[in-house]
Amino acid sequence: MRLPKLVRDSRKGLEKEIQTLPSGFYDSFEYTRAGKNLTHPRTLGCIVKVLLGFDSVKAVDIDIRMNIGRVRFQPDIQVIGTDDTPILFIDYESPNSSDARIPRKDVLPYLKLGRPIPYIVITTLPDAPKAKWKTRVYPSSASRNRGRVRQKIRESPRRFWYNNYRHELKKLKNRLDSVYFFNIDGKKVMVAPLFKKT
């Protein structure tokens, strides 16, 4: 899969930028709890710092509300190019929000916007067993067996949730050409494709 340059450079820059963050910043809930809820704001700061270093970027807007008619697209970041138009949208989901909400909260509103501007969704999910991984929102299919589902999530949060995203978005896969998933696992930022891009 060939990524657009801005998408590719954003991944590489973010991975470099997060190396100085404390151990456990992304693969635990230590920095995503009351009184120490730093993961989301600190990561947005890292992303903005990376983006502002690119010649193709004129400005970075935070917490945008693109509420037009019935469309409610609200990305964390809108990147403005040198011609004063949006060239990239980004949503970052910390450990406590990398769950069943992503397809409906992030991807579907972006698709309703109907603009072919690249969109990156960054999740924070370890691809290893995590016995204390918290789960607040479950897939709708888990209404009766939450204990068993919780166990499956903890075996590999990334594998569980990405399988869920594939299931939720499979009917829309032909419309996802400009949607890119990244996943932060420890100190690595990886491209995490849901489907093969054509």
Phi first, then psi, for residue 26 (nearest 5°) are -115, -15
Give the whole-angstrom CA distance, residue 61 versus residue 44. 11
Structure-token pair, residue 89: 């949208």
CB of 59 within 8 A of CB of 80?
A: yes
pLDDT digit of tens for each residue in the chain (198 aa)? Answer: 678 999 999 999 999 999 999 999 999 999 998 889 999 999 999 999 999 999 999 999 999 998 888 889 999 999 999 999 999 999 999 999 999 999 999 999 999 999 999 999 999 999 999 999 988 777 776 656 678 888 999 999 999 999 999 999 999 999 999 999 999 999 999 999 998 765
Nearest CA to 75 out of 109, 125, 103 is that of: 109
**Residue 15, Cβ neighbours under 10 Å: how many?**
17
3-state helix, strand, coil in the chain (%, to 5): 35, 20, 40
Q: What is the pTM of this model?
A: 0.94
